[in-house]
Amino acid sequence: MDIDSFYQQVDNSAAEQEVIAFAMLLYACSQTNAVAQDVSVRSTCVSAYIEPCLNLNPHRFSDLINQPLIIIAALDYLTRLLAGKNIDHNLKQSVIYTHSILKLRKIVLRNSDKLQLLENRLQIISRYKQIQPEQIRSDDPQLVHKLAALYLDVFGSLNFRIIVQGKPETLRDQIKIDQIRCLLLGAVRFSVLWHQVGGRQWKLIVKRRKIHDIAKHLSTQLFDIQHTSRNIVKFKP
């Protein structure tokens, strides 16, 4: 199986879409906590959530998951949670943020003014991204800052807000603050996507084992694809 076949498989499976969407939501919350605690994160992690935020009308689910290494990390993180093993402070805090994101999704979807503001600003930011040189699109600090500002404008004035805990010096660093808000916006995006493809909180309890097995299987498939791809490049005549 190659990566295109994997994406086609996911596009044809609502259950797999649910699992990946929730894994990406949980992982965004994990990376939010990591940034706040001044723990190094994958350089591509924030950029993996930018395109899904800007692509509000994807042709297919796979259009929103174009970084396999991040997907593997997210699936492994979800598997670890559902297995109930090695539950450290970061994982516990990630679950707290995830619950908050799911609540935030419900609140904002009932607010037509906020939804309109969100859509309009995302269209403007999307146009900004399109005019940037290809080599700086994925992690442009200005792009991250614009998405962070959007998160603040849409969610900052709500009665319910997510309070991020972290090191004081980190939470005074504007670059880190922008990354945190961008990741939280990505988490909201995947919470909406998760619900759209059939994700529900009760399933996380009732179908816990099935979700665990699907996540583990998808992670193994992607890992094998990535490993095979690297070997092909390495031994190419």
168: domain CATH number is 1.10.3890.10
Indicate if the pLDDT at residue 138 is higher than 90: no
Q: How confident is the model at residue 228 (pLDDT cuts 50, 70, 90)?
A: confident
Task: Return the pLDDT at 129.
Answer: 86
Indicate if the pLDDT at residue 236 is higher than 80: no
Query: 85-111 burial by CB neighbour count: b if 16+ within 10 A, else e?
Result: eeeeebbebbeebbebbbebbeebeee
- Closest by CA position to 6, among listed 231, 236, 222, 227: 222
pTM over 0.85: yes
Higher pLDDT, 134 or 3: 3
Structurally, the chain folds into a number of domains equal to: 1
Would you say 51 and 105 are in contact if contact means Cβ atoms under 8 Å apart? no
| Domain with 101 in it | 3-234
Indicate if the pLDDT at residue 237 is higher than 70: no
